[in-house]
Amino acid sequence: MSPATAAAMAQPTAVPHAAGAGGMLINIDNGGTLTDICVIAGAQVYRTKTLTTPYDLSKCLFEGLRKVSRLIYGEDDLLKLLRNTAHIRYSTTQGTNALVERKGPRLGLITGGTLDARTMRSQAGAADLFDALIGDRVASLNVGGDEAALQKAAVAAVNQLASAGANRIIVAFGGADRGSAERHVRSVLLRKFPPHLLGAIPLLYSHEVVEDDNDPRRAWTAIFNAFLHPAMERFLYAAEHKLRENKARNPLLIFRNDGHSGRVAKTTAVMTYSSGPRGGMEGARALAAHYGYLQLLSMDVGGTTTDIGVVDKGVVRSETHGKVEGVATSLPLSDVISVGVGGSSIIKAERETISVGPQSVGSAPGPACFGLGGRLATITDAFLVQGLLDPASFFGGELKIDLERAKAAIAENVASPLGISVEAAATRMEDAWVRKVADALKAYTRISADTTLAAFGGGGPFVVCRVAEAAGVSRVLIPGLAAVFSAFGLGFSDIAHRFEAVLASRDAAGLKAATDEVMQKARRGMYGENIELDECRIETMLHIASKGETTTAALSDGKLPSDLPSDARLSVSLLVAKPIAQPQLSGKFGGASKAAKASGTRRILSAGQWLDVPLYRAEEQRGGSGAAGPAVLEEAFYTCRIEAGWRFDFNDSGDILLSTP
């Protein structure tokens, strides 16, 4: 069986609730280097990968869909695939990668009231980010003076920021009258700079993005949204339009960083930030529940970043005011961190040390071994030099990799500056790469005997035994769909939105008015999804904001708590969800064990020594099979080096448990 054929095999890891009655489910996770496609068709799961095309993301999207149609039907039939599909869920790390690499629009900021640039920069972790995204493109306005003076100052502020290079401007005011102040400025600027004029600079107002009494937090949320919006808007609307042209049955669903999905027109750009990693966390949550793990720490290694999260006692770690690169926002986000180290991260020698990332070569030109023009060294080049990767089977045999190009890149960027051999440099590169990932895991959470490490993404399994040892973990889970696991995890989401309204008074009448208001918002919002409210599951919550902190409580009896703080600002929110088909997991560990079937041997460089070790193809193993390291475990889209002192065991679902005695 060829690797490409193996990649097309149905995987028994998932059985959707609606087994084919409503059509297939397509999940797509667009990363900086690779785009993953996972199709759930009844009891079968088809998966594939394609190189991300950053110059036109719709190109890799449709290349991936055509590729998976060939796996399913034996021929290229995009129209048939889309006609037989109920829902397409899509996530992207483009926003995450853009922030990591500081690639995006040049933003300008107009402040006023009690909010200024110094306050923005003084927030925890904000100074460097402010300098990178805003810099000196800042102006201030006073709306309390003469109207003519305000108009003149507003025009001058926009011209100043435009001259400084800003191509998007955020208006954020502070204080109790911030909303009315921003609306006043908006009316002035609409008259002076009507949006229908050629070259008009988009103006975004913080109160239109989110309501939050914390002024810096609200302003930062608007800044992140403005930074992410242009690329997301251009691509997502274009992709949806092309899907409609190809007869897709339902609108494209964007998987968000709150774990839910919604159509493009109902999605705020900032909610796409870290949405791909959140897909992995939804899958990790399902795995933790299925196997009964108290703490499942996850590392999703892509081309540009390693995304780290944790499921503690069945709950994805989240924050009421989620952080983007350490800066608090007004939105609840899962606590997933993205570390600038991945399979395509640039590795180079600087004096006597080796640096890893955060810059990445992405998929264009990619690692030097891809032969697409790249000359910088990456961990992928190092693993090829070490013999871990086989040019004949890499990427399902569809992407040819060049050993000599990998050696040349390592020689130029690492070996020569350090005065060592290429092989020694590859070992040093691996040591630095492992250390950076392991240090990030240890910094993220407390690791204990209850910790299991889940390794997925195309680069997650590579040297996970070494990463686990360095982090102090003795048990590793590699999901059967590891290479596309974040895409698979998107399937654990419903079509859902959250709606909120502020109480005008702290009594039963105020609560009823706010509840009625938010119910109307929910009805209109879900109608935009072509969904009636009585089809949905509704969760009602009360939010209590006091002294800069917000607490949340269920509001099931329709009554306000009696012990509210005297200064509390109260709001009611509804989480409205329309359930759609989701996968179910199966398989267990701990049954009878048998020897795994080896497919040959592979010569690898490990700990400075060349070894001939057994090679095991994941697709050829059955439940209960296992073996001890040193060995190489490989499937179409990932490779894993099993170290001495470790063993692997498969279960009936194709999930793999790595453990130490």
* DSSP β-ladder status, 85-92 and 24-30: parallel
Residue 450 is classified by DSSP as T
State residue 176's pLDDT score. 84
How many domains does the chain contain in total?
Answer: 4
Q: Which of 150-159, 466-475, 603-612 has the lowest mean pLDDT?
A: 603-612
Is there a domain that residue 347 lies in? no
Cβ atoms 608, 428 nearer than 8 A: no
Domain end among 578, 606, 622: 578
Residue 5 predicted with pLDDT over 60: no
For 527-564, the DSSP string reads HTTT--GGGSEEEEEEEEEETTEEEEEE--SS---S--
State residue 7's pLDDT score. 36
Tokens of 163: 């001259």
Residue 398 predicted with pLDDT over 80: no
Q: How confident is the model at residue 115 (pLDDT cuts 50, 70, 90)?
A: very high
CA distance 438 to 465: 11
Q: Write out pLDDT tens, residues 280-294.
A: 999 999 999 999 999
Residue 363 predicted with pLDDT over 80: no
State residue 21's pLDDT score. 45
Q: At what angle do helices 147-163 and 178-192 cross, to 10 degrees?
A: 70
Q: Write out pLDDT tens, residues 139-172.
A: 999 998 789 999 999 999 999 999 999 999 999 9
In a shared domain, residues 267 and 252: yes
Q: Which of 91-100, 161-170, 413-422, 429-438 has the lowest mean pLDDT?
A: 91-100
State residue 240's pLDDT score. 87
In a shared domain, residues 31 and 84: yes
The secondary structure element, H or E, covering residue 238 is helix 215-245
* Residue 27: strand pairing partners: 38, 89
CA distance 153 to 142: 9
Q: Write out pLDDT tens, residues 229-271.
A: 887 777 788 888 889 888 888 899 999 988 999 998 888 888 8
CA angle 274, 278, 283 (to 5 degrees): 155
Domain end among 181, 216, 251: 216
CA angle 265, 266, 269 (to 5 degrees): 85
In a shared domain, residues 131 and 196: yes
In a shared domain, residues 503 and 544: yes
Is there a domain that residue 126 lies in? yes
* DSSP β-ladder status, 323-324 and 451-456: unpaired
Is there a domain that residue 404 lies in? no
In a shared domain, residues 249 and 187: no
In a shared domain, residues 92 and 113: no
Q: Which of 30-39, 177-186, 308-317 has the lowest mean pLDDT?
A: 30-39
Residue 9 predicted with pLDDT over 50: no
Is there a domain that residue 45 lies in? yes
The pLDDT of 51-57, averaged and rounded, is 81
Tokens of 251: 């609108």
Q: Which of 308-312, 557-561, 576-580 has the lowest mean pLDDT?
A: 557-561
Cβ atoms 199, 189 nearer than 8 A: no
In a shared domain, residues 182 and 82: no
Q: How confident is the model at residue 198 (pLDDT cuts 50, 70, 90)?
A: low
Residue 648 predicted with pLDDT over 80: yes
Is there a domain that residue 310 lies in? no
Place of tokens 């690797």: 3
Q: Write out pLDDT tens, residues 143-152.
A: 987 899 999 9
Q: What is the CATH number of the domain that holds 175?
A: 3.40.50
Length of the chain, please? 661
Per-residue CA distances from 413 to 303, 340, 430 (Å): 19, 19, 14
Q: Which of 86-100, 274-288, 533-547 has the lowest mean pLDDT?
A: 86-100
Is there a domain that residue 12 lies in? yes
What domain range is 646 assigned to?
Answer: 594-659
CA distance 523 to 516: 11
CA distance 134 to 596: 56
CA distance 260 to 282: 10
In a shared domain, residues 121 and 173: yes
Q: Beta-strand (E) ranges in 163-317? A: 168-174, 203-205, 253-255, 261-263, 295-301, 306-312, 315-316
In a shared domain, residues 113 and 207: yes
Place of tokens 């700079």: 193
Is there a domain that residue 505 lies in? yes
In a shared domain, residues 204 and 237: no
In a shared domain, residues 133 and 92: no
Q: How confident is the model at residue 326 (pLDDT cuts 50, 70, 90)?
A: confident
Cβ atoms 585, 11 nearer than 8 A: no
Tokens of 34: 């690779």
Domain end among 169, 186, 216: 216
The number of angstroms, rounded, from the C-alpha of 7 to the middle of its chain's C-alpha atoms is 24
The secondary structure element, H or E, covering residue 380 is helix 379-385
Percent of the chain with pLDDT over 90: 61
Q: What is the CATH number of the domain that holds 37?
A: 3.30.420.40
Task: State if pTM tops 0.85.
Answer: no
Is there a domain that residue 286 lies in? no
In a shared domain, residues 189 and 133: yes
Backbone dihedral angles phi then psi of residue 577, each to the nearest 5 degrees: -130, 130
